[in-house]
Amino acid sequence: MARSRQPLIAGNWKMNGLRADALALAAGVAEGVRRAGWTDREVLVCPPATLLMAVADAVIGSGVLVGGQNCHADASGAHTGDISAEMLRDVGAGHVIVGHSERRTDCGETDTIVRAKAEAAWRAGLLPIVCIGETLAEREAGRTLAVLETQLKGSVPAGAAAAKLVVAYEPVWAIGTGKTPTVAEVASAHAHIRHVLGALIPDAGAVRLLYGGSVKGSNAGELLAAGDVDGALVGGASLKADEFLAIAKAA
Ligand code: PGA
């Protein structure tokens, strides 16, 4: 079963990078991945939309995959400032992150909106990475598993299957804070996510579940070895090629 779930190490650059830095970072990641020659794991970078085309060009032939950080649910139309899944696909993206907690918080994205974005990703031929995760208050109230279940049921579209979906578990309190759950806490969250997915989709056992939140080279080995963890969604540490490659190596 482990082999059927090829590890995915995804870098979420967030709102970071001007052309020069981003191209240097992309070149560094591409060079490392080319040199490693991995065939047993996938490495993805999700730059800001302004840099997608340039980064996609910069990593051609290296095996590095490129994705967007968000998309609108519609294919086109009067949505000033938004970008559709089709537009991401058009400039070389194969993946898109949807429902990141920063978008849920900053932009008021609900589970219903996230689900529509995941459907938009399918429509455009992109693989959506659906993010879920509890806040510190929710964890302290003992509501972690219930929150994850509600978010999953609301955010995963009908018709989902392992080949069409990646889920990222990102505790909100672990994002950008340097704090991480224990390995046991990650394993328990992931086991519950897989259990809930079992009621939603036929091949839930094959869905890749990523952990995200303060992953770095020094803790990746431990976190990625936790039960039911099939990769990582990496923010801060994906902005340094060496650090990001160290995480990919640990997968
Ligand atoms: P972080 O961010 O690695 O900086 O904690 C993770 C994320 O938000 O995806």
Give Cα 80 to chain centroid, integer Å: 25
Instruction: Report pLDDT for 196.
Output: 98
- Structure-derived torsion over alpha carbons of residues 14, 248, 149, 200, reported in degrees to the nearest 10: 110
Contact 63, 33 (CB under 8 A): yes
Per annotation, catalytic residue among 86, 119, 134, 170: 170
| Residue 95 is a catalytic residue | no
Instruction: Report pLDDT for 4.
Output: 75
Q: Is the pLDDT of residue 127 over 70?
A: yes
pLDDT digits (tens, 9 = 90+) for 24-52: 999 999 999 999 999 999 999 999 999 99
Q: Where are the beta strands (DSSP E) in the chain?
A: 8-12, 42-46, 65-68, 95-98, 127-132, 166-169, 208-212, 231-234
Q: Which tokens sit at 120?
A: 């938009």
Distance 77 CA to ligand 1 centre (A): 31
Distance 141 CA to ligand 1 centre (A): 23
State the amino acid at position 105 in one-letter form: T
pTM reported for the whole predicted model = 0.97
Distance 20 CA to ligand 1 centre (A): 22
Average per-residue pLDDT for the chain? 97
Identify the band that residue 1 occupies on the pLDDT scale cut at 50, 70 and 90: very low
**Residue-wise over 180-213: b if at least 16 C-beta within 10 A, else e?**
bbebeebbbbbebbbebbeeebeebebbbbbbbb
